[in-house]
Structures are given as C-alpha cells and as structure tokens.
Amino acid sequence: MSTITHNIELAIAALQEGEPVAIPTETVYGLAGNAESSEAIKKIFAMKHRPLTHPLIMHVSENSDISQWVEAVPEYARQLMAAFWPGPLTLVFNARPGRINPLVTGGQTTVAIRCPKHPVAQALLSRLDFPLVAPSANPFGKISPTTAEHVQHSFPDAHLLILDGGRCTVGIESTIVDATHPDAYQILRHGMIDEQAISYVLNRSERKEETSIRVPGKLDSHYQPEKPLYICDSTETLQRFCNTSPDAWVLSFQKDALFSQFQGYQLPSDSGQLAYELYYRLRMADQSGSSVIVMELPANEPGWEGIRERILKAGTFVCDATLPE
Ligand code: TXA
Ligand code: MG
C-alpha cells in the first residue's frame, strides 16, 4: 500500500534517491522523478505501463533559466510564459542537443516544459537541483487523479510515496502549445488555458495545420474510466439511452425527471467548474454499483475544447441512430 504524506522532506529525500513520488500540481497529480536520471525515469514508465516512445513533460521551478535546455525561445513563447507561468500551460521547444535525457523526449528533438503553479510543486522544485518529469499519476490510458487518495487507488499494489497537496484546482491536464516554430504557435492538447486566452495575449490566432509532433491527443482512447462510458450530444439521446439502461450512472446538465429515476450527478454549466469535477465524478461513477456510465457532451463552444477532448477520448459516442427504437 502507498503512503500519503504532507511531509515535503520525505518527498525530497525520495526524489534525490531516484525514487518516483506522486506530487500535487494545480491540474492533476503527477508521478514525478528526477529528469536527469535514466533509472528514475524508467521506474515511472514501468509503473504507468507507458510506451517508451511517449514523451514526458519536464517540470521546472519558477526561477529556472530554460535556455539551458532549449535551443530558442521565440518571442511569442516569452509572452505566453510571462502571461501564464507558473500555471497550466506546457510549451514544446526544440531541445538543445545532448542536454535532455532521451527518455524524456521519447527520442524526439523537442522537449515539453511546464512550470506548475501549485505551491507544493513549486516548493519541491525550488529545493531540488534537477527538474522533474511528471506524467499524470495513473496507469497509461486511464483517468488522471485529482486527489492523493485517487493516486493511491490508481496504483493499488505499489509502495509509492504520495505528497498530499489537496484536491487539484484545475482538474484536467495542462494545455500543450507547440513553440518550435519561430513565429507561429499551435495548440497540441487543449486545456483550461484556451485558444481565446492565448490569442488574446498574442493578439493573433493559431497556425492550424497537420503536425508531425506526437501528442496524446493523437490516440483515440485515453482518460478512460473502468466502466463503459457512453457519450450523448443531446438530452433526447441521453433520455433514450437511459430508457434501455435502468442502472446507468448519469452525468447530465439536466436535472428534474432524470435524477428522480437515475443515480448520478448534475454537471455544472461553468466550464472551469466542470473541469474541476470531471475526473472526480467519473471516479465516483466507477465506484458506484451501476454497470455503465452515460454522460452528456457539452456544446462545442469556446472554452470547452479541453473538456470535450477529454470526454470524447474517455468513452464511446452514441447518437440517436445507434439506439434501438
Ligand atoms: O497537467 C499536466 O500536464 C500533467 C501534470 C502532472 O503536470 N501532466 C501530464 O503528463 O498530463 P502526461 O505525461 O500525462 O501528458 C503529457 C503529454 C504526453 O502524453 C506527451 O504526448 C506530451 O505531453 N508531450 C511530452 N513531450 C512532448 C514533446 N516533446 N512533444 C509533443 N508532446 C509532448
Ligand atoms: Mg496522462
């Protein structure tokens, strides 16, 4: 069984010895390790059952000079760092050759860097003389944890040290922006720092084209609960689905009739609040006695891209035509 602690000294000692430690960030909990130690990184890949070709984000402290790791920091990336660091924004740069452990980059020539805002993550990073890799602290493809207990539950057989920093305030993973191009940016993974916020700071919009950069968003399934999750884009479809699945766990924006018949949770209409609740509520649904989860998909509106991306990769989309009459 893993150990949950508030003692940062224990976490520092374990990380210095090359052991993985689960740490809080403002987005989700990360499975952290010394980014300069191949042994430490290999332990993280093994624990997560993550393919070695899937690169990791390097987490740095607020006062790090990132030019030691990256070849160039374009002007627009500086503006984004000034506006959003520390915070839930990851930037992908061209790595300085030979400066980053190839296990971090998955053998690519780029490196993803993030400066987390969570005070416990920052306190840790400022005390260590190496950056941390920190993929989300869940087995590959599963739901990310937003509490220390969720990390414990994600790795039931591990003897992991989990540093408790409370419930994550953002609730979904950071936005990832490709900053390898000298003057054009592209969002590789949506998050709560959305396209509008980024284009507002930069006063221009995104370069939209196919990218050869590999990202989790390129996988069809990810963020998956244990129980089958069905996604409906209208209340009518949701209702019809429920009619044929009386024990469904319902995650819907509607209340009234639905919740007098079904167990579940009424989704908040604010995107920030829904991001905060999303993984937390999917885990509750997994713990319930229901055999399936059915969820309403939020409308495709600005600010909701990150949430929709997570939901669509977590389950199976159902439309009216696929349901029995
Ligand atoms: O909010 C977050 O970003 C959380 C917390 C713990 O910081 N971390 C996180 O890590 O979500 P992970 O490993 O679950 O997802 C990060 C993704 C990887 O799956 C990878 O595809 C992408 O970032 N990534 C890492 N390095 C990259 C690179 N050089 N180029 C493109 N994508 C990269
Ligand atoms: Mg992840």
Residue 217: pLDDT over 50 = no
Residue 252: closest CA among 271, 269, 272, 240: 269
Distance 60 CA to ligand 2 centre (A): 18
pTM over 0.75: yes
216 lines ligand 1 (CB under 6 A): yes
Confidence of residue 215 (pLDDT cuts 50, 70, 90): low
186 lines ligand 1 (CB under 6 A): no
Confidence of residue 204 (pLDDT cuts 50, 70, 90): confident
Which of 45, 53, 57 is the best mutation target for the ligand 1 pocket, counting ligand atoms within 8 Å of the beta carbon and taking the most? 57
* Ligand number, closest to the Cα atom of 187: 1
Q: What token pair was written down for 102?
A: 């190839």
Report d(CA 268, CA 264) in Å as an integer.
13
* Ligand number, closest to the Cα atom of 31: 1
Report d(CA 33, CA 45) in Å as an integer.
10
Report d(CA 283, CA 301) in Å as an integer.
25
Q: Is the dihedral of CA 164, 165, 169, 173 positive or negative?
A: negative
In one-letter notation, the amino acid at residue 96 is: R
Strands 175-178 and 186-189: antiparallel
Distance 187 CA to ligand 2 centre (A): 17
Atom of ligand 1 nearest to the CA of 29: 6
Among all chains, which residue has been given the structure tokens 């890799």?
A: 133
Dump pLDDT digits (tens) for 262-279. Answer: 899 999 999 999 999 999
Residue 88: closest CA among 196, 6, 4, 192: 192
- Among 129-138, 155-164, 204-213, 283-292, the range scoring the smallest mean pLDDT is 204-213
In one-letter notation, the amino acid at residue 283 is: R
111 lines ligand 1 (CB under 6 A): yes
- What is the 3-class SS of 19-87, one letter each residue? CCEEECCCCCCEEEEECCCHHHHHHHHHHHCCCCCCCCEEECCCCCCHHHCECCCCHHHHHHHHHHCCC
Beta bridge partners of 321: none
